[in-house]
Amino acid sequence: MPFRLLISLGLLCALLPLHHGAPGPDGSAPDPAHYRERVKAMFYHAYDSYLENAFPFDELRPLTCDGHDTWGSFSLTLIDALDTLLILGNVSEFQRVVEVLQDNVDFDIDVNASVFETNIRAFQTPTGMPYGTVNLLHGVNPGETPVTCTAGIGTFIVEFATLSSLTGDPVFEDVARVALMRLWESRSDIGLVGNHIDVLTGKWVAQDAGIGAGVDSYFEYLVKGAILLQDKKLMAMFLEYNKAIRNYTRFDDWYLWVQMYKGTVSMPVFQSLEAYWPGLQSLIGDIDNAMRTFLNYYTVWKQFGGLPEFYNIPQGYTVEKREGYPLRPELIESAMYLYRATGDPTLLELGRDAVESIEKISKVECGFATIKDLRDHKLDNRMESFFLAETVKYLYLLFDPTNFIHNNGSTFDTVITPYGECILGAGGYIFNTEAHPIDPAALHCCQRLKEEQWEVEDLMREFYSLKRNRSKFQKKTMSSGPWEPPTRPGTLLSPENHDQARERKPAKQKVPLLSCPSQPFTSKLALLGQVFLDSS
């Protein structure tokens, strides 16, 4: 068993120095092709272990080779791993898993789920800010706490705006925007937000302000929402926050925690969740500051072979009971973004160190285990789903410069719509906070058209059908059915009406889910603007 193996080797591994050194003996940077294959092997070791030992549970327990439910009992690790399969090029396994999930996963279950972790709606509050937990079958439970973290309120605009665009129902984007605005209106006079707020009263319960746990993805989604939706207001909100953060929380390119109303330091610590910040800075073009902060964080990685959850900056050491590293992706995520922006080989060195550290400390017979304590490298019996969704994905993308995710617009897919050709897959993908990419072009290209637009299209079809029929001297007017796309590569899948064309109703036509053409699911797959054939 892996646990017995760890007993015999654990102390030895804890004492051995990690492979932190400079690039190879010849002074060259790490070989991307070599580490790309190493990362792929890491993925399949963890993925296969989950399928063999833990499915259909949410997560793998790698030390005991079994599974357990964590965030909702719907095979979370398998769902999270889906687009990583595509990024690694494994289309056939992606197709197989989609069918498995369609046949087996049910979200109408009596389970209390984190709204933040599962992105489920629970916004019916006086402030418009959502509860932190919702029952998937019954809604918000009586007696549910109204106290929610800032990130749990402000991390919806990317997914919900996408959902509104693809379904034509504005309610998703509307509630996400209301939640964002309520947080904005609740900031202090010096421009900061706290950590937890009462969604019924709008009063701050935890008044620590920073960029880490409990707040992080709120700032992330202001930037990513602004880019995805081309929304100047969201970007302006972030830039105002950024000024306050730099004025009150930044010290020597570290970011501390301060009291939100006074700006006085409350916690002089670096949290591993804060390591996303350099990547976010790169998205707004602040490369110099991003690199300086990244290098600070990288020194912590070199010290321990990973990022402890909390690191006391003045003492230069871990914080008691926060010494662990659950294989988080944030520093690797920042390295990926910054490498795309700068090409600095130091960023590849972080990727190399991450692969070496994780394999040396965390790898066991049944996957990769959370590092319970970075001081002695003791392990914990958990492999969180973000390891496959984020950590491995960002590592692979760091070492794979030609991946379709990095497309600079030189290639793309053409989709035929009722109004002509539309472009997908040209790049500019926006990652949500769980590293699931969204093609911005899909929000335009595959948006659900307004019903009146389809009615106009019906009239135009009828007109041209009549004209065409008269030219052929047909006695009877041909009935013009709904628009049918040509069968050709570049046609995007629609998730409903897979097996038959839309039927035109005599009164009011039912609006199709997507304006992109419908195809049988078994004949074509499309995700992230990429189209895949069964034989691929």
Domains of the chain from N-terminus onward: 30-58+269-406 (1.50.10.10), 144-267 (no CATH), 408-462+517-531 (no CATH)
The pLDDT score that the predictor gives to residue 450 is 46
Of 330, 349, 353, 400, the catalytic one is 330
> Residue positions in the annotated binding site for Ca(2+)?
433
Is position 117 annotated as part of the catalytic site?
yes
pLDDT tens across 341-352, in order? 999 999 999 999
Mean pLDDT on 355-383? 98
Mean pLDDT on 273-298? 98
The pLDDT score that the predictor gives to residue 27 is 59
From the list 470, 486, 488, 487, the residue with the least C-alpha distance to 478 is: 470
**What confidence tier does 453 reach under pLDDT thresholds 50, 70, 90?**
low
Mean pLDDT on 49-53? 98
pLDDT(121) > 50: no
Of 59, 216, 353, 400, the catalytic one is 216
Is position 220 annotated as part of the catalytic site?
no
Of 80, 173, 208, 309, the catalytic one is 309
**What confidence tier does 485 reach under pLDDT thresholds 50, 70, 90?**
very low
For residues 495 and 518, what is the distance between their CA atoms, to the nearest angstrom? 8
From the list 320, 323, 332, the residue with the least C-alpha distance to 358 is: 332
97-111, 216-230, 517-531: which is most confident: 216-230
Is position 376 annotated as part of the catalytic site?
no
- Report the half-sphere exposure of 307 (CA within 13 A, side-chain side): 26
The pLDDT score that the predictor gives to residue 104 is 80
Mean pLDDT on 140-145? 85
pLDDT tens across 164-198, in order? 998 888 999 999 999 999 999 999 999 999 999 99
Is position 58 annotated as part of the catalytic site?
no
pLDDT tens across 303-336, in order? 999 999 999 999 999 999 999 999 999 999 999 9
The pLDDT score that the predictor gives to residue 105 is 75
**What confidence tier does 458 reach under pLDDT thresholds 50, 70, 90?**
low
> What are the tokens at 117?
């972790």
User: Comparing 80 with 131, which gets the higher pLDDT?
Assistant: 80
Q: Is the pTM here over 0.75, yes or no?
A: yes
Buried b (16+ CB within 10 A) or exposed e, 295-322: ebbbebbebbbbbbbbbbbeeeebbeee
Of 31, 117, 344, 457, the catalytic one is 117
Residues with Cβ < 8 Å from 323, sequence gap 6 or more? 308, 309, 372, 373, 374, 375
**What confidence tier does 497 reach under pLDDT thresholds 50, 70, 90?**
very low
> Residue positions in the annotated binding site?
433
